[in-house]
Structure 1
Amino acid sequence: MTAIVRVPVGGGTPEGTNSAYLLPDRGVLVDPGPPSERAWADLRDGIGAHTAIEDLEHVFVTHWHIDHAGLAHRLADRAGAAIHVHREDAPLIGDYADARASRLRRDERTLERWGVPKSVRESVIDRDEPSPLPDAAPVNRHDDGDVVAGVEFVHTPGHTKGHASVRIDGTILLGDLLLPTYTPNVGGSDTRLDDPLGAYLSSLERVATHEEGEPGHGTTMSIDESIADVRRHHRDRAASSFEAIAAADETAVTPWTVARHLFGEMAGVHAKFGAGEAAAHLARLAELRIVERWTDDRGRTRYRPAVDSYPAELSLGR
């Protein structure tokens, strides 16, 4: 079996300390971590305890979020290594300046469609600070099933469109597919997916055959137990979303109305995550014909119940 060394990087976060994974025998590092000097020192020291940075040949990134991808270019430049990422997330790492500008425009349009008020939308965009990544730099773009240095890409979208877990000799590195402290955000963490919850639940099925996995934060976790917890969470959240629609004074409501019912007052990134999670659950219920969906004359997506009561033990999967 290939040796896989967990390297904790950066300070503690609500998700848990970031986990980079080193495969010293293969010259591979997965998810180098956030772009802070503390994280860089942790990463450099962790690698140096097992191999020289210059011996690294490949840097894998599970998804585009800065706490996983932030040090990818710095490490690759120092080591003379290649960066590998699923093609759907590659522009947000390799063509950062253009992709970020497109993302902000898309986020603003999506928030408006979800019914988020203008002042809140503006707070989301204004608080979105640029990351210290190069405007453009080379990355290698991959598809599901691609194998590099014995590391296999397993496309597991939902948290982001191009999220990919990676498999090494039967061990699965999960990125943010599963987390030890709470459920990953689905919907607001990447606004490119039409049915993010459906995609996410299908991704869980792709890793369910593994007994244990290594998450992108914290340490080894039981996949069966974690998937059961996540499914239970989303069943409860979907039922609460339906109840929010049924209880509303309006004939039909936007995802923002449901998010306010679920989470209360929100601003900045919390507004995007909250509205996105509500939108993801409503989109899934629309696919299952539990709610009806349409677009009003202002371009906002609205929902109303399509059934008299929420079905007991409803399966949210595709």
Structure 2
Amino acid sequence: MTADEITRIDVGGDAPEGTNSAYLVGDRAVVDPGPPTDRAWRDLRTGLERAGVEPTAMEYVLVTHWHADHAGIAPRLAATADATLAMGAGDAPLVADYARERERRLERDAATMDAWGVPADAVSEVIDGDAVSAMPDETSVERLADGDRVAGLEAVATPGHTLGHTAFAGDGFVLVGDAVLPTTTPNVGGSDTRTLRPTAVNPARCDDPAAGGAAIDHDPLAAFRRTLERLADRSERLLPGHGTAVESGRVAEILTHHRERSRRVFAALERRGTATPWDLAGDLFGDLVGIHVKFGAGEAAAHLRTLERQGRVDRLEDPPRRYRPVDREPRTRETGV
């Protein structure tokens, strides 16, 4: 499958990350068909018709990750075409068993935000504002591992933004979903709270991308950095899930962004002495409302987890999680030397 056989289709209207991008691969597969709205369905059908392809001709519907703006309309397209819906094994349950997994996700999100020190009223605002998507309670989903081939594409595990995020590579291109975006940096930590669960864990444990993101990754920022480094080593053109093609050097920019953010998190923690992820989210992003409460606190928590693994911060309490900086040069407390 070559880049000449890829057609980008704008679906679902604008989003903060840019217009959603669905991709027609040849004449037999669609990647990331879009959100579960009638507008997205019309946009997708129009794009397919312009390419001379009927929705019923699809053999595969591929999804990079479980977020509704990418996966929401996938069950509808798969049912219309009697096509196989496939995605990374780590994210597949959230689409395959949508109703049950949504309830579990809301419980997990609430517990995780509480552990991050988010006030109860802000937690309630996030949970109450999480609308049910127009998706089937259950859907048949084929689970993909890193290196699997489907519809002429190679599945490439790209965890970080979500636990089982998976890109799809062809000859000269990689459909990267939200692993790399042209104008914004993908959220890490708050975009999938499975990656930072409020349970006692070994902070040194991280996933190998070859595992397909199926195991629990307790350092999502480290996983995301490995994803970016893996993509940086590839020579193909990167095609994102929002907007158009990624410019050369964008992966390096995102890596630099996160190095700088880690420095900002550590500096803010030094100023405070001790802090929760929620405290530091306010320092980093200012006042947060709605879904940005989870995203902001999760981003701070992800950076703190990496700093903890690096031995630069200690976690003091759980819950709520509270951190303190570790002196780089040990000294006697009584004398200060």
Question: Comparing 181-190 with 164-173, which one deviates more in the overlay?
Answer: 164-173
**What secondary structure sits across from 2:132 in the alignment?**
coil
Q: Please tell me whether the aligned partners of residues 186 and 197 of structure 1 are also in contact (alpha carbons under 8 angstroms).
A: yes
**What secondary structure sits across from 2:156 in the alignment?**
strand
Counterparts of 1:39-58 in structure 2, within 5 Å, are 39-50=40-51, 51-58=53-60
- Using the alignment, how far apart are the partners of 2:294 and 2:250 within structure 1? 25
- Using the alignment, how far apart are the partners of 1:72 and 1:211 within structure 2? 26
Q: Please tell me whether the aligned partners of residues 244 and 258 of structure 1 are also in contact (alpha carbons under 8 angstroms).
A: yes
Q: Give the Å deviation of 1:74.
A: 0.9
Offset from partner CA, 1:10-65 (integer Å, 9 cap, x none): 2122211111110234x011000011222111100111222122211000000000
The letter for the 2-side match of 1:215 is P
- Using the alignment, how far apart are the partners of 2:274 and 2:313 within structure 1? 10
Kindly report the root-mean-square deviation, in angstroms, between the aligned alpha carbons of the 2 structures: 1.3
- Choose which of 292, 305, 308 in structure 2 pairs with 1:283: 305
Counterparts of 1:295-306 in structure 2, within 5 Å, are 295-296=317-318, 299-306=319-326
Aligned to 1:79: 81
Aligned to 2:315: 293
Aligned to 1:155: 157
Is 1:206 matched with 2:230? yes
Offset from partner CA, 1:146-185 (integer Å, 9 cap, x none): 1112111101000000100111123100100011111011
Q: Give the Å deviation of 1:211.
A: 4.7
Aligned to 2:127: 125
**What secondary structure sits across from 2:169 in the alignment?**
strand
Please list every run of at least 4 consecutive aligned residues from structure 1 whose deviation after the TM superposition is greater than 2 angstroms: none
Q: Please tell me whether the aligned partners of residues 14 and 181 of structure 1 are also in contact (alpha carbons under 8 angstroms).
A: no
Aligned to 2:276: 254
Counterparts of 1:16-165 in structure 2, within 5 Å, are 16-25=18-27, 27-50=28-51, 51-165=53-167
- Using the alignment, how far apart are the partners of 1:289 and 1:141 within structure 2? 36
Gaps of 5+ in 2: 196-217, 330-337
The letter for the 2-side match of 1:198 is A
Q: Give the Å deviation of 1:236.
A: 1.4
TM-score, reference length from structure 2:
0.87
Is 1:231 matched with 2:231? no
Gaps of 5+ in 1: 310-318
Aligned to 1:266: 288
Offset from partner CA, 1:261-284 (integer Å, 9 cap, x none): 111221221100000000011111
TM-score, reference length from structure 1:
0.92
Number of residue pairs matched by the alignment? 303
The letter for the 1-side match of 2:322 is R
- Choose which of 215, 228, 234 in structure 1 pairs with 2:240: 215
Q: Please tell me whether the aligned partners of residues 172 and 210 of structure 1 are also in contact (alpha carbons under 8 angstroms).
A: no
